[in-house]
Chain A
Amino acid sequence: MLKITDLELLVGSVAHLAAINASFQPGTLTTILGRTGAGKTTLMRAIAGLIAPDRGQILLDGTGWTRLPPWKRPVAMVTQQFINYPHLNVRDNVAFPLVRAGVAKADAAARAEAALARVGLAAMVDRRPSALSGGQQQRVAIARALVKKAPVLLLDEPFVNLDYNLREAFRKDLVDLLAVETGTVVLYASTDPREALQMGDQIVLLADGRIVQSGSPRDVFANPASLTAASVVNDPPINPIPFHQNGVADFGALGQQAITLPSGAYTLGLRASDIRAGGPHQARVTLTEVTGSETLTHLSLNGLDLVMQEKSVVLRSPGDVVGVHLDLHKGLVFGADGQRAGV
């Protein structure tokens, strides 16, 4: 078990990580979800020993890691950049950590070739990394990380620099590859909620260097603890709609909704999938985006900027007016402090 307690890391006087407390079990894949700059990479680099935290402990099965240099930590990492040893061919690249660990050359080469076969590169073992495509280079890096059988495997947005179509195939392959690594703690950093929800056995939401929530993907998605958590875990980000509670929830021109709450100002977090075309509210289209098989339509409605998600490809031009329906009763209520209210 990898355990992190009270981890804090300052750069100048800015906290890049603060009050990080978490434990990760072997055989589970934990996705660390957060926007760019949330501290995902910093956390992984601290675990790997590439940067020293100002406070706190990192322990693997009770052994303190905090003072170990990176070359003494049993950890493997795959980064966004495709990092391989340019002067070694693919086989020697993957065999390198084994040879360093004292494995006999022939044995290391055989294990490297087996690992490369698992990532589908059996035919490329004699090439230099520079002669491979970006996707293949990243497969080499993954093979090198897996071959070590390190108890901690860090994956820092490994597929973000790959083509859209490749990324999906890679994710599926990676989950299959990791399924047999039952003794490994796997951390996977991502900015994409969908990826994080799909892949993770556990999910940790990170914002501004702090853990805002953690749990099973289904739990975290269904019950985000705060508006921050809700906006991190939803793609597209959740639509914040302010309302006033006075007996009933008053959404102004959007109507009223019966919710039991103390009086005051609140924000309703409405998922993009809970806005549908075909309804009474006339919204103006500002832009449509197609992602995968879905269409995200950015709308302007009574001064509110909303995003509507539809499960097909629908063409709309900026300036078009669409009648929309908002499933307000499906929204999540957050108080003025941003915390979940009325649950």
Chain B
Amino acid sequence: MAEIRLAKLAHSYGNGTNALKPLDMTWRDGGTYALLGPSGCGKSTMLNIISGLLKPSEGRVLFDGQDVTDKDTGARNIAQVFQVPVIYRSMTVGENLAFPLVCRRVPTPRIKARVEAIAERLGLSRHLNSRAVALTADQKQLISLGRGLVREDVSAVLLDEPLTVIDPQMKFELRKILKDINREFRLTMVLVTHDQNEALTFADTVVVMNHGEVIQAGTPQELFERPATTHVGTFIGSPAMNFLPAVREGDRVLVPGAGLSRTAPADLPTTDLTLAFRPEHAVAGGPLAGTVTRIWFEGADQVLALSVGDASLRIRAVAGAETVGAIVRFDVPQDCLRLYHQGRLVA
């Protein structure tokens, strides 16, 4: 159980590329965090620095205020779960779970009690005497997790895309167990993933990364409603946020020909402006009108691609009888309309 602080952290590999641009961040004790981004965005570098596999070229890593930058992985009391389950093939499930304690010469009765408690929590009690290789992928992943949890001094759990090899139907169960464990053990958990759904589902705070840089760190709700950049708005949410080139006219910013507008902040530049809104935030009926160019029927509702003036955008609407070519009236509430300058959120 620990608060993790990354102080002026930065990393570059030998060839001079910046794998991680300077950042300052504090992760609270017992919180759940997700590092989200495409491969090569620096999220794995960050995870490796926290776990101690990689020594940062600049900055410090602090656990509960203690500098651990120079400590090895073993001395950091970290539990790690990787993409592919790591189990000792020759051992039973129980022996697998007990192994970290056996190595630390914990007395046998205490190992037994601890292993049973953890197995119970992970739903592995029935399998304690089965050979670990015989289990399914998701159960193996639970063993990997359990081996980290048996130690009572674990300060954080690092999860490196742990659900990649799991059957979709089992992902739900595994997520639930992870959440429960986070609540019960008050463990700080950090998940690395490229899947927006996984990140938003798992974490209280999602850290969106790209090109070695933290672009936005916020709650899933913040990322959805106020994406810091157009990149985040496109990456988070499906369908993506609508971004429409806009111009400033007096005290208003508007999308030419589309009828979308909002008030402009006083010091707003006049070029490189974008108005944006979520397809979900459009409401039926209103002053705006568009021609349907495409319909994605999704069951209870549908996504309509509209051409409004010169702009094309998408809105989500209740499934109805609209056909391609029909005129649809809609509106976007003012408080849902975001303004970007040079791709960054202004208001």
Contact = CB atoms under 8 A, between A and B. Distances in A.
B225 interface: yes
A21 B206 CA distance: 49
Interface string A310-325: 0111110011000000
Interface string A225-243: 0000000011100000000
B168 interface: yes
Interface stretch (B73-81, B107-115, B232-240): B232-240
A194 B298 contact: yes
B194 interface: yes
B300 interface: yes
Nearest to A192: B168
Interface in B244-294: 278-281
A163 B167 CA distance: 15
Interface string B220-243: 110111000000000101110000
B237 A292 contact: yes
Please classify how large the interface on chain B is, using the bins under 10, 10 to 19, 20 to 34, 35 or more.
Answer: 35 or more
A313 B300 contact: no
A287 B179 contact: yes
A194 B223 contact: no
B296 A198 contact: yes
B224 A293 contact: yes
A271 B300 CA distance: 8
Nearest to B171: A289
Contacts of A36: 167-169
B201 A288 contact: yes
Nearest to A312: B280
A257 interface: no
A251 B186 CA distance: 39
Nearest to B278: A293
B201 A311 contact: no
A165 interface: yes
A164 B197 contact: yes
Given A313-B225, A315-B220, 10 more contacts: A197-B299, A233-B299, A235-B299, A291-B201, A293-B224, A293-B239, A293-B279, A311-B316, A312-B225, A312-B278
7 contacts: A164-B196, A194-B299, A221-B299, A286-B176, A311-B301, A313-B200, A313-B220
Interface of B: 167-169, 172, 175-176, 179-180, 183, 194-197, 200-201, 204, 219-221, 223-225, 235, 237-239, 278-281, 296-301, 316, 319
Interface of A: 35-36, 163-165, 168, 191, 193-194, 197-198, 217-218, 221, 233-235, 271, 273-274, 286-293, 309, 311-315, 318-319
